[in-house]
Amino acid sequence: MGACALVVASVAAVPAAGAEGTPGGRCPGSALPHVPGAAHQQADCLDELTTAGTVVSGHTDPADFAGLTPKDLPTPSGVPGLQIDGYFPDTSTTNTNHGWNHDAQFVIRLPDHWNGGLVVSGTPANREQYANDRAISDWVLSRGYAFAATDKGNTGPAFYRDGRRPGDAVAEWNKRVTQLTRAARAVVTQRYHRPPVRTLATGLSNGGYLVRWQLENHPELYDGGVDWEGTLWRSDGPNPLTFLPPALRAYPVYAAGGAGAEDAWKTMRKAGYPAGSEFLWPYHHQVYWDLTQRIYREEADPDFDGATEAGTPYCAPGTPGCDADYDYATRPPAVHRAVDRIALTGRIGKPLITLHGTLDALLPISKDSDVYARMVHRAGRGALLRYYRIEDGTHVDSLVDAHPDKLRPIVPCHRSAFAALEQWLTGKGRPPADHTVQRPADADPATLLTSCPLD
């Protein structure tokens, strides 16, 4: 969620990919794969599938992954192969990539040197299909995995316009990940003449929510997953609509100082915002909390503000239809049913590793992954879960650039977790038990970009 990781979508369009076929003569084999169910697809054989090449060739959209990773994150290279871009049938038109003006767009990347695995991801925020390219795609491609990602079927801050009833837009996200997983497995089989030996789901923020939902509802499609600070939706709370309104009410009072500041700070803490994250609150107030609350509330509860669409930005408490006054617990049963349509249960069916930063000021850890871990254990699925709290991690890794002395990036922890999942699934070693991954006291910022031991 949030502006960089949950709500703001990129607006720059990717240049249209080249003509269908095999430019440059790469891509061994004569037949190009067909994506089952796609309404349109185009294939391009590339000398470089990572962003080291796709930024220049126009096979990604840098605006789509802007702000998600530290600026100095190394970029792997040396991964030639086939990229397929396309879209599935859909009626919404928010995604303008390639000039298609068509949602349900996807990207599938098939490296020449394949390790037998497939990684599938839905995007964070309301971003388009290239949002994971720096954080996830580059790295898994460099390890030999095929990679597939979807725009989730709707994009942009007005995503809630998609669908006919409350909850439809988010429910479509789950459908599109399932659809792409099935199609990508078939494409991999066509390309390499054998099915994937391992299919893994991973994603951050809204993409982490999708990992949880897929392993709960379609475990037959996956061998496991890594959830990076996934959004928690529960019809009885907590969920973003329960902890964002207190921040909208209390933070301005806290920031103003004076007699009410201490009580406002206590309200923030009670709502879940972690002690020690106060330095992040001004940015989150400016960029994340207000917009996130309004557009996700509009998705679940459009009647709250009457004919107004997605509320009034930065309205003062007491203003009619103000999201700062929103009280999810007292809203009509239909609102709770809308959230229940997208809610998580904890009943995962395949191994899952969850990561969450202790200084997450958008999805507070005590109201999100701490709760989800308890849900998994209550559902009797605890043996399938490993949960690592990342000390000094926050929701958006790019904030590490502004606060290198206070924050650590989570991207290397995600890579460690992914490697740990590989070991777990191959029987070569069980990941460590749930714990908080401490930030080394004397860690060099450059080392933190590439190293995050989980034990």
> What is the length of the chain?
455
User: For residue 442, what pLDDT band results from cuts at 50, 70 and 90?
Assistant: confident
Determine which helix (DSSP H) or strand (DSSP E) holds 171, and give its type and residue range. helix 168-192
User: For residue 29, what pLDDT band results from cuts at 50, 70 and 90?
Assistant: low
Whether residue 107 is predicted with pLDDT greater than 60 in this model: the reply is yes
Question: Average per-residue pLDDT in the chain?
Answer: 93
pLDDT of residue 175: 98
Same domain (yes/no): 100, 73: yes
Instruction: Give me the helices (H) in 74-154, please.
Output: 138-142
Same domain (yes/no): 299, 394: no
Same domain (yes/no): 305, 376: no
Tell me the DSSP string of 239-302: SHHHHHHHHHHHHHHHHH-STTHHHHHHHHHHHTPPTT-GGGHHHHIIIIIHHHHHHHHHHH-G
What is the Cα gyration radius of the chain? 21
379-415: per-residue pLDDT in tens?
A: 999 999 999 999 999 999 999 999 999 999 999 999 9
Nearest-angstrom CA–CA distance, 42 and 20:
5
Same domain (yes/no): 159, 63: yes
pLDDT of residue 441: 84
pLDDT of residue 444: 85
Closest CA to 154 of 135, 165, 168, 137: 168
Distances (CA, A) of 343 to 210, 329, 338, 453: 11, 16, 9, 32
Determine which helix (DSSP H) or strand (DSSP E) holds 225, and give its type and residue range. strand 224-228
Domain-terminating residue out of 309, 341, 373: 341
Nearest-angstrom CA–CA distance, 378 and 453:
28
Same domain (yes/no): 173, 306: no
Whether residue 203 is predicted with pLDDT greater than 90 in this model: the reply is yes
136 belongs to a structural domain: yes
379 belongs to a structural domain: yes
Same domain (yes/no): 333, 355: no
207 belongs to a structural domain: no
188-197: per-residue pLDDT in tens?
A: 999 999 999 9
Residue 238 · residue 272 · CB < 8 Å: yes
Whether residue 16 is predicted with pLDDT greater than 90 in this model: the reply is no
User: For residue 308, what pLDDT band results from cuts at 50, 70 and 90?
Assistant: very high
| Bridge partners of residue 107, in order along the sequence | 85, 149
289 belongs to a structural domain: yes
Whether residue 249 is predicted with pLDDT greater than 50 in this model: the reply is yes
The residue range of the domain holding 170 is 41-196
Nearest-angstrom CA–CA distance, 235 and 89:
30
76 belongs to a structural domain: yes
User: For residue 31, what pLDDT band results from cuts at 50, 70 and 90?
Assistant: confident
333-363: per-residue pLDDT in tens?
A: 999 999 999 999 999 999 999 999 999 999 9
Compute, in degrees rounded to 10, the torsion defined by CA atoms 371, 215, 126, 77. Answer: 110
Same domain (yes/no): 48, 191: yes
Domain-terminating residue out of 319, 341, 363: 341
Nearest-angstrom CA–CA distance, 327 and 369:
22
pLDDT of residue 233: 98
| Bridge partners of residue 42, in order along the sequence | 85
Same domain (yes/no): 58, 115: yes
Same domain (yes/no): 328, 367: no
Instruction: Give me the helices (H) in 278-332, please.
Output: 281-284, 290-300
Same domain (yes/no): 89, 167: yes
DSSP assignment letter at 313: T
212 belongs to a structural domain: no
* Chain centroid, CA 26 distance in Å: 32
Same domain (yes/no): 58, 190: yes
26 belongs to a structural domain: no
162-177: per-residue pLDDT in tens?
A: 999 999 999 999 999 9
Whether residue 438 is predicted with pLDDT greater than 60 in this model: the reply is yes
- Phi, psi of 178, deg, nearest 5: -60, -45
Nearest-angstrom CA–CA distance, 422 and 411:
17
Nearest-angstrom CA–CA distance, 3 and 7:
5
Same domain (yes/no): 404, 336: no
**Domain total of the chain:** 3
Whether residue 208 is predicted with pLDDT greater than 70 in this model: the reply is yes
Domain-terminating residue out of 317, 341, 365: 341
Whether residue 19 is predicted with pLDDT greater than 70 in this model: the reply is no
Residues 6 or more apart in contact with residue 43 via CB below 8 angstroms: 20, 21, 22, 32, 33, 82, 83, 84
Return the amino acid letter for 133.
Answer: D
Nearest-angstrom CA–CA distance, 66 and 45:
25
What predicted TM-score, i.e. pTM, was given to this entire model? 0.94
pLDDT of residue 1: 53
171 belongs to a structural domain: yes
